[in-house]
């Protein structure tokens, strides 16, 4: 278990609970209690299960990465580039167009989010320009805020929000209500 944040010990974000407990000479449980309130990253996923679930046709892809954590899970920066680069391109679990649909059109349709998830007249222009040959996740548990490779530009509601490694328009997004 990796500590992602701790109110009384913010300097311990990014460290393993077992290492903190050893440093303090206490059990993992006692260390966890001392760190509270706190957040953690758990290592419980089996890669074979992940691939089997991702390949299942109705599976939608999203992320619950928390941007306010001192040491966030790498999925905050890497979920979508990992799907495109690793699972689609490298492993061939599904073609690129299927990967894109699992992250856009399918969730929009299933969740009833109007005029999103497709490129069509009258739809909001939420677009990502990426190089399918180089897009790849770069974030790690040690360096979770590392930008992905191969992402060129991002438009949110038709406004250029990110380009050339910089935020261009921070207020292009909006709360989506059904």
For the chain, the domains span: 78-178
Task: Calculate the average pLDDT of the chain.
Answer: 95
pLDDT given at position 45 = 92
**Helix or strand (DSSP H, E) at 151:** strand 151-156
Residue 15 DSSP label: S
CB 20 within 8 A of CB 33: no
Tell me which residue has tokens 């913010």: 10
**Tens-digit pLDDT profile for residues 45-74:** 999 999 999 999 999 999 988 788 878 889
């Amino acid at each position: 278990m990796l500590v992602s944040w701790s109110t009384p010990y913010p300097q311990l974000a990014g460290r393993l609970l077992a290492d903190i407990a050893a440093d303090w000479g206490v059990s993992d449980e006692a260390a966890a209690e001392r760190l509270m309130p706190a957040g953690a990253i758990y290592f419980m996923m089996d890669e074979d299960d992940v691939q089997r679930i991702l390949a299942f046709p109705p599976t939608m892809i999203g992320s619950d990465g928390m941007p306010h954590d001192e040491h966030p899970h790498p999925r905050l920066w890497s979920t979508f580039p990992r799907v495109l680069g690793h699972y689609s391109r490298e492993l061939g679990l599904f073609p690129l167009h299927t990967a894109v649909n699992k992250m856009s059109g399918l969730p929009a349709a299933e969740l009833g989010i109007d005029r999103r998830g497709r490129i069509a007249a009258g739809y909001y222009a939420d677009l990502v320009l990426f190089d399918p040959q180089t897009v790849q996740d770069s974030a790690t548990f040690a360096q979770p805020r590392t930008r992905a490779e191969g992402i060129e530009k991002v438009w949110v509601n038709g406004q250029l929000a990110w380009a050339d490694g910089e935020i261009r328009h921070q207020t292009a997004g909006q709360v989506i209500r059904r």
